[in-house]
Amino acid sequence: MACIELKQVSYRYPTSKTANLKEVNLTVESGEFIAVIGRNEAGKTTLCNVIRGFAPHFYQGKLSGSVHVNGKDVLRTEIGDLSWDVGYVFQNPFNQNSGVKATVYEEISYGLENLGIPRREIFDRVDEVINLLGIAYLADKHPMKLSGGQCQRVALASIIVMEPAILLIDEPTSQLDPKGTEDVFKIIDMLKKKGKTTILVEHKIDRVAEYADRVILMDEGRIVRDGPAAQILSDPALLEYGVTLPQTALLGLRLREEGLPLERIPITIDQAAVSIGALRKEGGGI
Amino acid sequence: MDLNQLHQLVASSRRGRFWLDLNPMTKMVLAFCEVSLAICMPGFAYGFLLMAVLMLCAATCGLGKTYGKIMLSVLVIFVGLMILARALFYEGGGEVFVTLGRFSIYKGGVLAGLRASSVILGFSSALVFFYASTEPEYLMLTLEQYRCPPKATFVILSTFQMIPQMGVNAKTIQDAQRARGIETEGSLWVRAKAFIPMLMPLLLSSFSAAEEKSLALETRGFNYDSPKTRLRIVEDSKAQKAARIGLIAVTAAACVTGGYFKWLA
């Protein structure tokens, strides 16, 4: 079942001179894990904002085309009602806490309180998420006194606990150190294994290769490529759009250039091990 | 702290100390009565007495240090200055209390200073004790129970957290500017000059954070139109309700009587 459907969507922020999204068509099936890549200002965050209804409900501006999320017409749905359907995790780890809660535990419960979930259920759901994400040791800390990585994990927990049908995760690790990045991706990995419909905007291309089933490349407000990760991320044309390829794909392309009969271009380390291992068995010259 | 302890902490407002466990509305009424009495009571004993009594109360619930520290500075700065000013510039004449060189300090001046101090002390000790003994979350929950809209309590509560946060940000900006050679320490003039270039980035970053913050809140269902659940529960009792009414009645009577005596004097 398609849970996100964008048809001929164009959108311009009121402060922008040109359109930020141009004739975007996108269908996302339930359970898909999609990564959105592209250079800065390509329209990745705007795409997320349109799916969540922030554009145009929050930012104003003109949107043409139709946006349906979870069967709801986003343009005709109150911005608050979409809280049930779409969870959104932002880039800056420090700007996502409510600012009114004294412990991480209550911070995570805030969304459920707003949705009017019964107290007993809130306790159960928050406990479950805290244990699932391995952040029980943070539960009694003050949300303002966490490191970036901890903050981002709490932000993820605060959204996951609301059990939205769709998760938008916008560059969650761009401001984090390697340890924080690792911790956040462990959670993303878990979400993928659970089959959560997820759209991840990410620059770290090796991570994208590891997790995404499908990759969307954006440039100047348009979707310029859309397909299986293995196909998109091994295409050297990506470099023209200001996006790098995964390390292993670059290696694979280089090996092919050198005339080695590589069956397919690997995009993850595991795939590289298999492909290159096969080459060695064949005595391909390595 | 394990999750069970956390549940208890969140689910009950009881902290095992009498003053902390009172319903915020009871404490608010109490503070209101104390302040009213400070205005209406004749003489100067009331303010000093109230300060001392509240000091004892604060000590019983582990707030002695917080309360004591603030009240000490109020005592030294405001009360000291008030008595000094009133005593030195008293023009009523009368009995001389003490003579310091060319200055004569009149008894009437000292008394006037003490009376004004009593009002200041009554106000400040009541408010300081109220704020020290009341967790803002519980105060806001109580206000919500008295039909204050959740958006209003949100604004108040987030301000409580935002002000220290802005202080931290200001320090970061100042450190960055110092690293680039802007003088931020030294005379008052140097500090004042360093303050202005810090203000701009501080305000701008707060504005840009506000956008992301409001989107994050929106994602958490801030504008979702339904009655909100609250994990924390504020405890109240019939006895406290009765005590609040009683307090107001007694204070009203005392204020009328006290005011009458004050008018007579």
3 state SS for chain A: CEEEEEEEEEEECCCCCCCCEEEEEEEEECCCEEEEECCCCCCHHHHHHHHHCHHHHCCCCEEEEEEEECCEEHHHCCCCHHHHCEEEECCCHHHCCCCCCCCHHHHHHHHHHHCCCCHHHHHHHHHHHHHHCCCHHHCCCCHHHCCHHHHHHHHHHHHHCCCCCEEEEECCCCCCCHHHHHHHHHHHHHHHHCCCEEEEECCCHHHHHHHCCEEEEEECCEEEEEEEHHHHCCCHHHHHHCCCCCHHHHHHHHHHHCCCCCCCCCCCHHHHHHHHHHHHHCCCCC
Assigned domain for A264 exists: yes
Give the H/E segment covering residue B96: strand B96-100
Say whether pLDDT at B48 is over 90.
yes
Neighbours of B89 (CB within 10 A): 10
Assigned domain for A222 exists: no
- Touching B: A residues 34-53, CB under 8 Å: 52
Report the pLDDT value the prediction gives residue A216, as an integer from 0 to 100: 96
Strands A214-219 and A21-29: unpaired
Which of B201, B224, B54, B47 is CA-nearest to residue B133? B54
Listed ranges A92-96, B158-162, B209-213, B238-242; the one with the highest mean pLDDT: B238-242
Say whether pLDDT at B191 is over 90.
no
Report the pLDDT value the prediction gives residue A284, as an integer from 0 to 100: 52
- Mean per-residue pLDDT, B38-62: 92
Report the pLDDT value the prediction gives residue A283, as an integer from 0 to 100: 66
Please list every residue in chain A whose beta carbon sits closer than 8 Å to the beta carbon of residue B10.
Answer: 103, 105-106
SS3 assignment, position B83: helix
Smallest Cβ–Cβ distance between B231 and the set A81, A96, A119 belongs to A119
pLDDT band at B207 (very low <50, low <70, confident <90, very high): confident
Contact: B228, A113; criterion CB under 8 Å? yes
Assigned domain for A94 exists: no
Report the pLDDT value the prediction gives residue B126, as an integer from 0 to 100: 95
Which residue bears the tokens 């690997």?
Answer: A266
Assigned domain for A263 exists: yes
Please list every residue in chain A whose beta carbon sits closer than 8 Å to the beta carbon of residue B154.
Answer: 100
Please list every residue in chain A whose beta carbon sits closer than 8 Å to the beta carbon of residue B164.
Answer: 144
Assigned domain for A259 exists: yes
- Number of helices (H) and strands (E) in chain B: give both, helices first: 11, 2
Locate A142 and state its tokens: 């003050």
For residues B172 and B198, the answer to whether their CB atoms sit within 8 Å is no
Assigned domain for A284 exists: yes
Assigned domain for A60 exists: no
Report the pLDDT value the prediction gives residue B235, as an integer from 0 to 100: 87
Contact: B231, A100; criterion CB under 8 Å? no
Neighbours of B263 (CB within 10 A): 8
Assigned domain for A257 exists: yes
- Written as tens digits, the pLDDT of chain A (286 aa) is 789 999 999 999 999 999 999 999 999 999 999 999 999 999 999 999 999 999 899 999 999 999 999 999 999 999 889 999 999 999 888 889 898 898 999 999 999 999 999 999 999 999 999 999 999 999 999 998 999 999 999 999 999 999 999 999 999 998 888 988 998 999 999 998 988 999 999 999 999 999 999 999 999 999 999 999 999 999 999 999 999 999 999 999 999 999 888 888 999 999 999 988 888 887 655 5
Lowest mean pLDDT among A83-97, B98-112, B131-145: B98-112
Distance, in Å, from the CA atom of A205 to the CA atom of A87, rounded to the nearest integer, reads 23
Q: What b/e string do you get for A168-207 counting C-beta neighbours within 10 Å, with b at 16 or more?
A: bbbbbbebbeeebbebbbebbeebbeeebbbbbbbbbbbb
Report the pLDDT value the prediction gives residue A223, as an integer from 0 to 100: 96
Report the pLDDT value the prediction gives residue A261, as an integer from 0 to 100: 84
Q: By the CB < 8 Å criterion, does A142 face chain B?
A: no
Helices B107-133 + B24-40 axis angle, to 10: 170
Measure in Å the smallest separation between the Cα of A201 and chain B Cα atoms: 16
Complex confidence, ipTM: 0.85
Number of structural domains (chain A) is 1
Contact: B218, A105; criterion CB under 8 Å? no
Distance, in Å, from the CA atom of A113 to the CA atom of A111, rounded to the nearest integer, reads 5
Domain around A269: 246-286
- Touching B: A residues 59-118, CB under 8 Å: 78-81, 83-84, 86-88, 90-92, 94-103, 105-106, 109-118
Residues of A acting as catalytic residues: 171
Say whether pLDDT at B13 is over 80.
no
B interface with A, Cβ–Cβ < 8 A, is: 1-3, 6-7, 9-11, 135, 137, 154, 157-158, 161-162, 164-165, 209, 212-232
Q: Look at B51 and A278; give whichever has higher pLDDT.
A: B51
Contact: B222, A114; criterion CB under 8 Å? yes
For residues B117 and B44, the answer to whether their CB atoms sit within 8 Å is yes
For residues A35 and A211, the answer to whether their CB atoms sit within 8 Å is yes
Which of A167, A152, A170, A155 is CA-nearest to residue A42? A170
Q: Which residue of A has its CA nearest to B155?
A: A100
CA torsion angle for B150, B9, A128, A84 (degrees, to 10)? 0
Contact: A118, B229; criterion CB under 8 Å? yes
